[in-house]
């Protein structure tokens, strides 16, 4: 008989004898089975856990790789946009130089937290918490914007806070123009929350729904070219002017931060006798 067969026979005899021994002590046989089964189950469980971990790791890695590809694409896109912006800025500087145009000094923006918003009540205001280094300054009549566009102007400030009169308030008025045609009018709040009215645009002026409305920079307070909203409706208002509905570009329902422009407005005395624009 070959050694291999003898080894198999030996294994069979050992197993048989172990079974015989445990069969004589069934209680202990159960304990012995548990004693053997426990580490085996622990080992199998550990292997399964590690396999699961490796599988999850591979899935996470695939997700990260996919995200990485997307982010690289996004970076490329932003780099292209940035390059286009730099090019446009250089072109603009060149044209400005040729036209001998001197832009106003850059406004210094102050980032502030929005701590209170009321855009449904009679007085539509927001309250900003000023950063510690800016609490002693007088921020009255300073423009307030967000990344989306014009939010309003500071009505009063003190105690580390600034109250902002929203652009949708009925007492608010901003010099505005239709971006496409550069025709100017006045944006005012209406009784309906979240709807602005572009006023004093004659009937012969071309205005269409979808036109962007931006600040005109003619009210002594707000800088030019800040997005205000989009035209939603155009109707005739009597014989002279359009009745134009505008939806604000700033989503008043999701405000978290705002920028206060550290920009000196035109002194109030200079605007006496005007039509109330900017007050």
Residues lying near another protein in the complex (CB under 8 A):
1, 3, 6-7, 9-10, 13-14, 17-18, 20-22, 24-25, 28-29, 31-32, 35
Is 39 or 132 the residue whose CB approaches another protein more closely? 39
Strands 257-262 and 143-145: antiparallel
The DSSP symbol for 104 reads P
Q: Closest approach of Cβ 10 to another protein, in Å? A: 5
Is 30 or 57 the residue whose CB approaches another protein more closely? 30
> Which residues are registered as beta bridge partners of 125?
118, 165
Instruction: Return d(Cα 178, Cα 171) in angstroms, integer.
Output: 21
Is 31 or 138 the residue whose CB approaches another protein more closely? 31
Q: Closest approach of Cβ 26 to another protein, in Å? A: 11
In this structure, how many other beta carbons lie within 10 angstroms of the beta carbon of residue 199? 16
Is 3 or 235 the residue whose CB approaches another protein more closely? 3
Is 21 or 111 the residue whose CB approaches another protein more closely? 21
Is 32 or 109 the residue whose CB approaches another protein more closely? 32
Instruction: Return d(Cα 259, Cα 35) in angstroms, integer.
Output: 70
Q: Closest approach of Cβ 39 to another protein, in Å? A: 14
Q: Closest approach of Cβ 22 to another protein, in Å? A: 7
| Phi, psi angle pair for 102, to nearest 5° | -115, 110
Q: Closest approach of Cβ 59 to another protein, in Å? A: 44
Nearest to 110 by CA among 96, 97, 128: 128
Strands 150-158 and 184-189: unpaired
Q: Closest approach of Cβ 46 to another protein, in Å? A: 24
Half-sphere exposure of 120 (CA within 13 A, CB side): 1
Is 31 or 77 the residue whose CB approaches another protein more closely? 31
Q: How many residues does the chain have?
A: 279
Q: Closest approach of Cβ 18 to another protein, in Å? A: 7
In this structure, how many other beta carbons lie within 10 angstroms of the beta carbon of residue 51? 10
The helix/strand/coil state of 206 is coil
Decide: 276 and 186 in contact? Cβ < 8 Å.
no
């Amino acid at each position: 008989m070959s050694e291999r067969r003898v080894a198999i026979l030996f294994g069979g005899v050992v197993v048989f004898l172990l079974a015989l021994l445990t069969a004589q002590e069934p209680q202990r046989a159960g304990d012995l089975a548990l004693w053997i089964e426990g580490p085996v189950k622990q080992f199998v469980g550990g292997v399964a856990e590690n396999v699961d971990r490796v599988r999850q790791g591979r899935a996470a890695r695939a997700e990260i790789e996919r995200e990485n590809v997307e982010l690289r694409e996004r970076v490329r896109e932003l780099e292209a946009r940035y390059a286009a912006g730099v090019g446009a800025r250089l072109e603009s500087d060149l044209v400005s130089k040729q036209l001998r145009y001197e832009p106003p000094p850059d406004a210094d923006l102050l980032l502030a937290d929005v701590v209170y918003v009321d855009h449904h009540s009679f007085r539509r205001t927001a309250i900003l918490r000023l950063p510690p280094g800016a609490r002693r300054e007088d921020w009255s009549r300073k423009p307030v914007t967000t990344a989306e566009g014009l939010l309003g102007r500071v009505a009063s400030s003190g105690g580390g806070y600034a109250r902002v009169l929203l652009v949708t308030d009925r007492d608010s008025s901003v010099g505005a123009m239709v971006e496409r045609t550069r025709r100017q009018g006045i944006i005012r709040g209406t009784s309906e929350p979240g709807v602005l009215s572009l006023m004093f645009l004659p009937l012969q002026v071309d205005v269409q729904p979808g036109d962007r409305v931006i600040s005109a920079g003619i009210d002594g307070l707000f800088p030019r070219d800040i997005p205000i909203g989009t035209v939603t409706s155009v109707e005739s208002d009597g014989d002279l002017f359009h009745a134009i509905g505008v939806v604000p570009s700033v989503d008043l329902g999701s405000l978290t931060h705002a920028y206060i422009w550290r920009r000196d407005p035109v002194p109030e005395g200079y605007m006496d006798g005007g039509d109330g624009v900017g007050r």
